[in-house]
Amino acid sequence: MSAFDLTGRRALVTGANTGLGQAIALALAQAGADIVAVGRSPMDATRELLRPTGVAFTEVQADLATLAAIPDLVAAATRAGRVDILVNNAGIIRRADAIDFTEADWDAVMDVNLKSAFFLTQAFARGWIADGAGGKVINIASLLSFQGGIRIPSYTASKSGLAGLTRLLACEWAGRGINVNAIAPGYFVTNNTAALRADPTRSADILARIPAGAWGDPADIGGAAVFLASPAARYVHGIVLPVDGGWLAR
């Protein structure tokens, strides 16, 4: 059996209805994992995309803007079996100059990107620790976990915080059989980057900085997720793995 084989595992991916979350769900399914897809809207497109893989697909609609959704989400996700892999991908972004940034935009981003990610992870980790079988957590961080960016103060704070939580939880749970790691995507073609790609000046500046010379395709992130979810990463704890076309190397 390949060290990257996920057959017999169940993976929950938040924000799986589009973009990076959908691509990660597909990659995990292609490696053999059954998928629990979580999102605010119906996931018909994700279901159809994964259908050729033949894995079991469970859809859970939930809005992670508040913690109130978590108990029902966990119950629905585990009804058909244990969740072994948690991918915290759901995230939102708000853009404005720091001098004008509002409390509402700050709280909205922090609640989804950081607060809900932590408490959802806590909910599953309690079960993993109780049954002694461990689990895998993959947080979707960002280049803004390493850098400041501009006009996205709450997003930068949330993704920097998520990188810190990844390391803290790895320290606490590595000895309990739980691997906690993160992926830091670079500039990908997703809904979150639509405004940047529509701005000719910003888009050109970004492309000029990427050694690979192109925006990332969501499919480019799948291999990193499969690795971190697999037995091949058994001794990998607390890393934040950039998938960025070389951005941080420049």
pTM value > 0.75 = yes
Phi and psi angles of residue 216, each rounded to the nearest 5 degrees, phi first: -70, 145
Total length of the chain: 250
CA distance 186 to 246: 9
| Three-class DSSP labels, 184-225 | EECCECCHHHHHHHHCHHHHHHHHHHCCCCCCECHHHHHHHH
Instruction: Give catalytic residue positions.
Output: 155
What is the SS3 assignment for 182? strand
CA distance 153 to 197: 19
> Tens-digit pLDDT profile for the chain (250 aa)?
799 999 999 999 999 999 999 999 999 999 999 999 999 999 999 999 999 999 999 999 999 999 999 999 999 999 999 999 999 999 999 999 999 999 999 999 999 999 999 999 999 999 999 999 999 999 999 999 999 999 999 999 999 999 999 999 999 999 999 999 999 999 999 887 888 899 999 999 999 999 999 999 999 999 999 999 999 999 999 999 999 999 999 9
CA distance 57 to 50: 8
* Cα dihedral 51/62/16/212 (nearest 10): 170
Query: Token pair of 49, please?
Result: 């995309």
Domains of the chain: 10-242 (3.40.50.720)
